[in-house]
Structure 1
Amino acid sequence: MKACLSLWASNPRTYKKLSSLGMLVTLPSGRLLQYYKNSVHQKPGPNNDMFRWMYEEANAKQVPSHGMTGGIVFDEMSIQPDLQMIYSEDKVKIVGLVDMGAECSAMRVLKEGKQSAQLATHVLLFMFQGDSGFRFPFMHVPTAEATAPDIYVLFWKAMRGLIEWGFSVNYACFDGAVHNRSFLKMHFNSSGSAAVSASFATHNACSPDLPLVMMMDPKHLFKKIRNNMIKSGFGRNSTRLLLHQAGFITWEMWVKPYQWDREANPSEVSRIHHVLTDEHIWPNNGQKMRNKLAEDVLDKEMLHLFKAYQKAEGRNGDWLNSAIQLLEATSVLIANFTDTRPITSAEDDRLHCNARALQWFTSWEEAVMSDLQDTAIVKRKKLMSGETRFDMKSTILGFESLVRQKQKTHPGTSINAARVNSDSVENIFCQQGANDNPNYKQFMYKHHHINRGHCKQQSLQHWSSSRALLMSSAEAHQSEEIEE
């Protein structure tokens, strides 16, 4: 039954065809498998059934002791506001309302001065991501865009549940949304400078001997850097005009090398940066969300194209100096945060390279802010957004703190930078999106189905799951469909 359930969860269509052939013993029907699949009741908030399932999966995969330590990755996806009735645990229930627990409800009553029901417009998903590669989405909550206090309460509930089932948490990873950034600062007396001074390592109330690192998702950071570049220019619609000591940095500097490469090398095979397309240079709102498109215009291949274009321009190529310096920093960060080679020491050269890249951005910030002739508004236009600069410090300093902490608590083990991001959560959202923004009932049922296939995939395709971490969420989903 377990084998059939795993096959059915991975690909129901293939299972149906296999069953209809009659070549093997009679296989259980899809309806019977549906009953087994729903044996673990899905409900908002901490769920002992999910924790037990997660614990049993870790034991079945023989996850080592250091693999039971890892991080909590969380993110929100939008859903359709809708009320639905379900039959669960011998009771008829209504789902689709905001349900973040008693504490969050009490906080809302105190804030609004009244008690009211609200339709859920988002789902907040929490996933455990072990240092050895084991990962499991263990908690989801229907929200109406969770605020920082809501996230704070839910996060520490999730933390307590994991510890009760034998897991340890040494970091939290999330994107740079406003509420997420406020949640981070709550652990440092609401002070961003205090977080930077502490290298984003804070006290862990559930495990006092294991500091908790708060870090922003590297993949979202690269998108934000790219978006700052797109907004920079001399045009009327440009909201920024980035200025480094070496000169201006505008998006036109990316457009010109791209057009030159296509004109000089009409054949796609002979192009210097053969991956680049119009989607990279003129992305729409949907394409701006794709991680891979952002990384492709900031990586070492783009740096190589810039240098080739500057050489072709001769003496007129000096206007690219500032952009080339930026790409020298971003290409290092992208290479190191997508590197699958394990980091076994806090003295790893990749950490030093990350620190030097951060120093370049910090020096740029200090030079602009120290100019007494400019107003505060002009200074802000010359720099990337304050949120982006803060997120960069959180990603780089936080990851370094995580490595140092790992070496203290589990000497001799390693950590993989390519796994420390929120791609795995976004991959689940991408699979959920097949319903075109499901309601909460559809999310719960689909989530159970995804979890079954997810567990099967981890046990049989370690190479595939590692590769999916390096891909954008949309491409990872597309790859899974092809493999099925």
Structure 2
Amino acid sequence: MGGEENRQFVKSNFQGSPLDSNYISPNLVDPSKTIIHVQDFSHDVKKLRNSVMSSGHEKGQHTRLLTYEGKEITWEHFKNAVLWDRDVNSRPIYYRISDTHLAPNKAEKMRNHLAEDMLNKEMLHLMEVYQSCLPDGSHLESTIAFLTQTSTLIAIFRDRRPVTSMTDDRLEALKSVHQWFTNWRYRVKSDESVVQGKRAKLLPSTECLDDLDSLVLGFLAVCEKHLSSFPGSHVVPARFNSDVVENHFCQERGLHNGNLTHPNYYTYCATVNAVILGQTSISRGRKSNAGLSVAKPYKFYVDNKNNKRINRDR
């Protein structure tokens, strides 16, 4: 998930703050069961990368100045490390980084790998080597601390090894990452030496940090619930994402008039049933629906009349 509409939907399932309930709410259809609300991992990584990209001193270009324990975390640190690597080393330490990573356009900012490449363990290693080669690299300490957390997050959620027990070391590492960001937010918010209106500029956006809370706490809750309900089962972190839902939405939107279609209620009913009846996630090397049991379409009931679409071209 992502976007303000999705956040409002999550909040609508709780009486107070979702964080107070660890993003776990009763099922509105069956209150005896619970629903865990989790933001998508790739969405969170892009938000963290974008927060760093907006951190700096240039007016008009940078809107934040991320600061941890009195030292800055800026996009300039990342650029300088990459340019130093290119200029000094005949065989770059981190060869994968391109100019697109350093200055992505609006479309490229949506590419998952461009964000992950800038916040993973390889970038952490490059930043540490770059720091050691400077006469005084103390200004990079907070950037390295930040990369230590993001690289751990990426390594866990790209790990294909299954989680089979709540004693898995990766779950403890996730808790540590979450605690680091929580402590950072608390320290900045309670720092009376900074004007209250400027404190938010020293952190990633509130939405970004809330989404990170949802991701980590939600994943931990899913592991606990799934492993306790189904002994002997497992959860694979690398497969924990919203790709299935997004693919379903893309198929719905692409059925009529291209992907720019904004369907109303009735066209949505038709497309969602068409996807259910005609598609399958299993490739059989022939007709996708051949030999399969017939899917049951959704039944939609609405008492009120559908609102007419407003023609905004007038």
Runs of 4+ in structure 1 off by over 6 angstroms are 429-436
Provide the residue aligned with 1:213 in structure 2. Answer: 36
Structure 2 residue 244 is matched with structure 1 residue 244: no
2:7 is matched with which residue: 165, 168, 181? 181
**Partners of 2:280 and 2:32 in 1: how far apart?**
35
Structure 1 position 413, deviation (Å): 0.8
1:342 is matched with which residue: 162, 182, 191? 162
SS in structure 1 of the partner of residue 22 of structure 2: coil
**Partners of 1:454 and 1:277 in 2: how far apart?**
35
Provide the residue aligned with 2:110 in structure 1. Answer: 289
Unpaired stretches in structure 1, ≥5 consecutive residues: 1-173, 460-484
1:360 is matched with which residue: 180, 204, 209? 180
Amino acid in the other structure paired with 2:282 = C
Structure 2 residue 22 is matched with structure 1 residue 199: yes
| Percent identical | 37
1:402 is matched with which residue: 222, 228, 233? 222
Structure 2 residue 48 is matched with structure 1 residue 225: yes
Cα 1:247–1:458 change in 2 (3 A) is: farther
Structure 2 residue 239 is matched with structure 1 residue 413: no
Say whether the 8 Å CA contact 1:298–1:327 is kept in structure 2.
Answer: yes
**Partners of 2:23 and 2:220 in 1: how far apart?**
10
Structure 1 position 300, deviation (Å): 0.5
**Partners of 1:235 and 1:458 in 2: how far apart?**
55
Say whether the 8 Å CA contact 1:428–1:450 is kept in structure 2.
Answer: no
Amino acid in the other structure paired with 1:418 = A
Provide the residue aligned with 1:319 in structure 2. Answer: 139
Structure 2 residue 128 is matched with structure 1 residue 302: no
Amino acid in the other structure paired with 1:286 = A
Cα 1:331–1:304 change in 2 (3 A) is: same
2:92 is matched with which residue: 260, 263, 271? 271
SS in structure 2 of the partner of residue 360 of structure 1: helix
Amino acid in the other structure paired with 2:33 = L
Q: Deviations over 1:110-138 (max 9, x none)?
A: xxxxxxxxxxxxxxxxxxxxxxxxxxxxx
Q: Deviations over 1:153-174 (max 9, x none)?
A: xxxxxxxxxxxxxxxxxxxxx2
Amino acid in the other structure paired with 2:201 = K
Amino acid in the other structure paired with 2:74 = T
Say whether the 8 Å CA contact 1:299–1:327 is kept in structure 2.
Answer: yes
SS in structure 2 of the partner of residue 220 of structure 1: helix
Structure 1 position 426, deviation (Å): 4.0
Say whether the 8 Å CA contact 1:222–1:294 is kept in structure 2.
Answer: yes
Range that drifts further, 197-206 or 219-228: 197-206
Alignment of 1:138-153 (within 5 A): none
Say whether the 8 Å CA contact 2:250–2:259 is kept in structure 1.
Answer: no
Higher Rg of the two aligned structures: 1
Say whether the 8 Å CA contact 2:174–2:216 is kept in structure 1.
Answer: yes
Provide the residue aligned with 1:474 in structure 2. Answer: none
Q: Deviations over 1:161-194 (max 9, x none)?
A: xxxxxxxxxxxxx22x1111111111111x33xx
**Partners of 1:229 and 1:289 in 2: how far apart?**
15
Amino acid in the other structure paired with 2:26 = H
**Partners of 2:285 and 2:69 in 1: how far apart?**
48
Say whether the 8 Å CA contact 1:200–1:213 is kept in structure 2.
Answer: yes
**Partners of 1:286 and 1:457 in 2: how far apart?**
34
Say whether the 8 Å CA contact 1:199–1:394 is kept in structure 2.
Answer: yes
**Root-mean-square deviation over aligned CA pairs:** 2.7
Q: Structure 2 length as normaliser, TM-score?
A: 0.80
**Partners of 1:424 and 1:277 in 2: how far apart?**
30
Cα 1:452–1:433 change in 2 (3 A) is: closer
Provide the residue aligned with 1:73 in structure 2. Answer: none
Q: Deviations over 1:176-220 (max 9, x none)?
A: x1111111111111x33xx21221111123344432111111110
1:455 is matched with which residue: 282, 287, 294? 282
Q: Deviations over 1:367-403 (max 9, x none)?
A: 1111113222210111111111111111001110111
Structure 1 position 458, deviation (Å): 10
- Select the structure that is richer in strand: 1
SS in structure 2 of the partner of residue 271 of structure 1: coil
Say whether the 8 Å CA contact 1:200–1:215 is kept in structure 2.
Answer: yes
**Partners of 1:429 and 1:344 in 2: how far apart?**
31
Alignment of 1:370-449 (within 5 A): 370-427=190-247, 437=259, 439=261, 444=271, 448=275
Amino acid in the other structure paired with 1:413 = S
**Partners of 1:233 and 1:251 in 2: how far apart?**
7
Amino acid in the other structure paired with 1:199 = N
SS in structure 2 of the partner of residue 215 of structure 1: coil
Q: Deviations over 1:458-477 (max 9, x none)?
A: 99xxxxxxxxxxxxxxxxxx
Amino acid in the other structure paired with 2:10 = L
Amino acid in the other structure paired with 2:8 = S
**Partners of 1:433 and 1:444 in 2: how far apart?**
9
**Partners of 2:98 and 2:8 in 1: how far apart?**
36
**Partners of 2:86 and 2:249 in 1: how far apart?**
36
Say whether the 8 Å CA contact 1:306–1:324 is kept in structure 2.
Answer: yes
Unpaired stretches in structure 2, ≥5 consecutive residues: 287-314
**Partners of 1:449 and 1:402 in 2: how far apart?**
26
Amino acid in the other structure paired with 1:401 = A
